[in-house]
Every structure is written in C-alpha cells, then in structure tokens.
C-alpha cells in the first residue's frame, strides 16, 4: 500500500508534456483562388466604421455583391453619378432599395439559423459611420444604420430575409468618390475571425501598392477598438497576429490572393507601448490575378478614348495611346478631370489646341498617381 501510494504521488508531481500545436486543416469546402468571385467594393464601404460580427460582415459583402450591376454601370459611365443613380425598378414604392438575401447564400448551417436571425435583427440597430466627400471636396461622416430587416414568419423551406436600404445610404454604398478596389467574396466568407475579414478588406485596397501605413488611432477606430484592448500588446495578441496568421495560412493553401505582415512605427523614440503608426507589408500570391477587373479596366479605357475623340479633338490613335494609362486606381480622377475640362473648354475660347491642353492636363494627373506613395491612410 505504501509503495503504491508513493508511486501515485511521484506520478502526480511529474511535469506534464506540452502538446505540440497542430496546424489547422483547411476545409475542403473552400473555394480555390482561381474560382474566386471578385467584387468591386467602394473604399467608402471598406473604411466604414462598425462593430459587426463575422456573420454580419458576410451580410455586408452580400449587399455589395447585389450592388455590382450598379457599380459596373457607374464605372462604365452608363449611370449618372447622382441624380439618376438608380432606375425605378431598383427601388420600391417607398423609395428604398430592397435586397432579398437567402439564408443559404450566407454559408450558415441550418442548425444555426436562429443565431443568423438574431444577427440580422441586430443589423438594423448597430450604428455605422460611412465616409464621403462633398462635391466641394469637404469630407464628412454619415452616421446611420445600414438597413431595415424583414424576416418572414412562415415555416417555408427556403428561408430568407429582405433588407430595405434607404436611398441616401445606398448612394453612399455605391459612391466611388474615394475610389474602389477588388474584393474576394469567398475569401471574406472563409475567414473564421471578424478582424481577419476587416483587415483583409483594408489590405486588399492597397494590394497594388504593396504597402500601407495607418495611424494606430485610425486603425482602432476602423475596427471599433477605441474602448477595447487598452494595452497594445493585447491588440497584437487578439487582433493583428491572429489575422496575419489566418490570412497567410489561407494564402499558402491557395484560398487567398494576398497576406500581410506588419511592423510598429514610433515617431517619438518610444521603446514600446502604443505605436504611432502601423506599417502593413502586403504580399500577393502568384495566382492572385484578377481577370474580371482587367476586363473592367479595358472597358474604362475604351470609354475614355471615346470621350477624347468626341469632345477634345483627339485622333483615334492618340486617344487609344493616352487611354492605355488609365487603370482602376486613376479612372475616377481621370473621368472627373475630363468632365471639368469639358465644362471649361465650352466657355474658354483662349485655348485653341484642345487636344494638346487636355493631353498636358491628363499627363500631369497620371504622373501624380505614379509617384504617389501610400504613406498614410487618410
């Protein structure tokens, strides 16, 4: 008895061996990057401040997906940017935009539909801040809720909800005043962490630059962390590093087109604590090629070339050559510049060579975009 007792005591005091961390197996249900659904997302949506959950961010991306036809129309100049942005069949009689959202489109297991209903209900009351810029260039933030939510009470097999978005909010969601970028829908849906979703959206808007710098307080505001994780070490442990690890893992397995690492930047000689800025280094995977946006860019170039010939006396050859410098980053500014020049040249008769004048103006604009560095996210 004594020997058995001593043996048990010895075993109980022996140090436990730590288990080696197991690398998570990527689900076979994920969509490979080659089959990704690429969306156009306005920067205004990316930089929108909210405190949405993982499922609610999926809902937001689904809303953006439903707005793709409108966004493509704006990019191809087939829709007016303000007064006639929406057609009559896109708005209900109450002047709001309805979006029918099947539950199954959100990739939620049927057993979790009660939680999905709760997330949808809360969507109608969570405040959001949407940035926008007035025609005079003044910046504002619209503080509102995203939509009203209607959930049928019947027990039909095909569960769905209807989201009703006010016209003024819908105009913000398709606004290209701040620019736009591509977004992988399935990449967002594949994320298990809502902070990974948000940071992926952010770095995707800078992926062409390969680098982005954002002030730490702006980063906190974007993710609604002003009152959370007061120690920055907790931000790293709970937000930044998990997002970096998850996105890199998805990229390594072929389910994301980009991933990132980061560094803390101190401007006043600090040795630790809250940094002044965060520097994101953005890496692209080899197969992250966006054929859909390439097609969009080509359509934009053709539109600009047509405008140069029709309104500014360009030869077709010169118009095509200049329009080749148009891309997704500068298209909005080029179109705005041409609109302004068209208005000016109609009344300013001192400019005799319209083609040369417009060429010089656009050449300066292109060069400004080429040398611009992403030193800070405004």
Residue tagged 């701040």 (tokens): 178
Query: How, if at all, do strands 277-284 and 258-265 pair?
Result: antiparallel
Q: What one-character-per-residue DSSP string does 62-102 give?
A: HHHHHTHHHHHHHHTT-S-SSTT-S-GGGS-TTS-EEEEEE
Q: How far apart are CA 340 and CA 135, in angstroms?
A: 12
Which pLDDT tens digits describe the chain residue by residue (378 residues)?
Answer: 444 444 444 444 444 444 443 444 444 456 666 678 899 999 999 999 999 999 999 999 999 999 998 998 888 776 765 556 787 778 888 889 999 999 999 989 889 999 999 999 999 999 999 887 776 777 888 899 999 999 988 767 779 999 999 988 998 899 888 889 999 999 999 999 999 999 999 999 999 889 999 999 999 999 999 999 999 999 999 999 999 999 999 988 888 999 999 999 998 878 788 999 999 999 988 644 445 455 557 777 888 898 899 889 999 999 999 999 987 678 878 888 888 888 888 788 888 899 999 999 999 998 887 765 444 554
Q: How far apart are CA 375 and CA 181, in angstroms?
A: 18
């Amino acid at each position: 008895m004594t020997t058995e007792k001593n043996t048990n005591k010895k075993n109980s005091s022996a140090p436990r061996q730590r288990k080696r961390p197991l690398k998570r197996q990527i689900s076979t249900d994920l969509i490979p990057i080659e089959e990704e659904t690429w969306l156009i997302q306005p920067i205004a949506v990316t930089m929108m401040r909210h405190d949405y959950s993982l499922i609610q961010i999926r809902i937001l991306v689904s809303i953006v997906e439903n707005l793709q036809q409108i966004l493509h129309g704006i990019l191809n100049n087939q829709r007016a940017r303000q007064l006639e942005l929406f057609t009559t069949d896109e708005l209900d009689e109450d002047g709001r935009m309805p979006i029918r959202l099947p539950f199954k489109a959100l990739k939620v297991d049927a057993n979790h539909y009660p939680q999905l209903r709760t997330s949808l209900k809360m969507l109608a009351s969570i405040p959001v801040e949407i940035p926008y810029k007035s025609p005079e260039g003044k910046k504002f933030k619209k503080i509102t809720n995203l939509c009203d939510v209607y959930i049928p009470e019947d027990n039909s097999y095909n569960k769905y909800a209807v989201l009703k978005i006010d016209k003024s909010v819908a105009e913000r969601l398709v606004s290209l005043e701040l620019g736009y970028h591509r977004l992988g829908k399935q990449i967002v849906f594949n994320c298990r962490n809502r902070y990974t979703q948000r940071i992926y959206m952010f770095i995707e808007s800078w992926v062409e630059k390969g680098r982005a710098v954002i002030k730490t307080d702006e980063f906190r505001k974007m993710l609604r962390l002003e009152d959370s994780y007061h120690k920055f070490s907790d931000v790293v442990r709970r937000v930044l590093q998990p997002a970096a690890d998850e996105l890199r893992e998805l990229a390594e397995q072929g389910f994301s087109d980009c991933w990132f690492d980061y560094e803390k930047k101190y401007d006043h000689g600090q040795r630790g604590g809250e940094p002044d800025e965060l520097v994101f280094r953005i890496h692209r995977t080899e197969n992250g090629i966006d054929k859909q946006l390439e097609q969009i860019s080509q359509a934009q170039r053709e539109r600009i070339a047509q405008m140069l010939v029709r309104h500014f006396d360009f030869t077709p050859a010169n118009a095509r050559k200049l329009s080749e410098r148009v891309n997704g980053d500068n298209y909005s500014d080029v179109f705005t510049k041409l609109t302004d020049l068209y208005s000016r040249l109609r009344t300013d008769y001192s400019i005799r060579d319209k083609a040369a004048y417009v060429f010089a103006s656009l050449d300066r604009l292109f060069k400004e975009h080429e040398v611009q560095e992403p030193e800070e996210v405004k």
